[in-house]
Amino acid sequence: MRIDTFIFLIFIGIGILLLIFNVVSPTLAFHAIEWKTIFSLFYLMVVVNVMKDTMFLDYISLKILKRSERVFLVLIFLTLFLSAIITNDVSLFVIIPLTLIISEYADLPVDDLEKLLIFEGISANIGSALTPIGNPQNLYLYHFYNIGALKFITSMIPFEIIGIIIILPFLEFKKYKATISDIEFKKEWLLYLALFVLVLLCIFGKLNFVYALPLILLVLFYKKPKIDYLLLLTFIFLFVDIEGLKKTGIINIFLINCGNVMLMIYSSLLSQIISNVPAAVLLSNLYNNWLPIAYGVNVGGNGTLIASFANLITLRLSKGNIGVWRFLLLGILIYISHLILLVIYLKITC
């Protein structure tokens, strides 16, 4: 059993036990679940994965790569960009297989390939922090605190700039010669792009989720995109788990008296232990200030293997090209460096 599957099953198992022993009643569990977040995540999974299946994302990525021999830099910045608009997990499902294909045609040393794959995972965590739809924890915080989309993005820009500054010295600026062929993509990508816009209107509160549901189910039935139902189920049971912690009073153990800077550090450390999505759900039920939590759970995505689901996906997709210890070393180094600069930024601005 993969480690990510094991972690997901633990969260689901705890929720089931809470329901069996009536710590949380089914009615209370239903009302505790943030259904806007669940529908947002489900809609994004369907639309983005069906767009991925058309090969359009691969086509655009290869077109960009053909314009530059600095493969390392292009792939990293492509990861930063894609993770902000199609989520960190999905961007990795596009970028990492693409990287492995390109490495076969480019003069890319084994050590550079490993480093590139690691920093694609790190960049996905950093890039996805910018937008409400970039990762599951942002999507949840966006709905839970009812934050405006523009306010969310502008508030996260300093985080993004600092993150990019941190990783720049580690990147390879040299050129790699590559032979890249064109690929065909399915023309119906335009229909799915329109559906993607419709989903965004639902997420940003401009349209009721009910209106998009028939189209989503239609696409799901006919195109059968690969949906991570286990992740979706885990997210549902996370709300049940948190409700159980509230009912038993255990949640108060996690409540500490702290200011914005300490809350950010606390959020990031908790993410290293229980992963950043559960940390976001837990702390949002204890604190009213969303920004330190958003900074903390996003910076805390880099570091340990379980700090972010994207880390586990990076390892899984790399096909043995990444050493776990090097991944941990670089991830923790970026995490600590990013955290220190964010602490300095918050102390200056708050």
Pull the structure tokens for residue 123: 């960049």
Confidence at 124, pLDDT banded by 50, 70, 90: very high
Tell me which of 117 and 176 has the higher pLDDT: 117
Task: Please state which of the ranges 1-5, 136-140, 143-147, 200-204 shows the lowest mean pLDDT.
Answer: 1-5
What type of residue is 8? F
pLDDT tens sequence across 54-68? 877 677 667 766 777
pTM: 0.83
Tell me the β-bridge partners of 178.
106
Contact 146, 284 (CB under 8 A): no
**Does the pLDDT at position 269 exceed 90?**
yes
Decide if 95 contacts 61 (C-beta within 8 A). yes
Burial (CB count <10 Å: 0-12, 13-18, 19+), residue 262: middle
When pLDDT is averaged across residues 59-86 and rounded to a whole number, the result is 83
In the numeric block, which tokens belong to residue 296?
């903390």
Q: Which of 86-90, 163-167, 240-244 has the lowest mean pLDDT?
A: 86-90
Spatial separation of the C-alpha atoms in residues 57 and 41, rounded to whole Å: 20
| Segment 3-56, tens digit of pLDDT | 667 878 898 999 999 999 999 999 999 999 989 889 988 998 898 788 777 877
Q: What is the DSSP string of 274-320?
A: H-HHHHHHHHHTT-S-HHHHHHHHHHTTSSSGGG-HHHHHHHHHTTT
pLDDT, average across residues 80-98 = 86
CA distance 223 to 48: 12
The average pLDDT across 286-302 equals: 96
Cα separation of 323 and 117, whole Å? 10
**Which has the minimum average pLDDT: 5-9, 168-172, 242-246, 263-267?**
5-9
Q: How far apart are CA 306 and CA 83, in angstroms?
A: 19
Residue 185: pLDDT band (50, 70, 90) is low
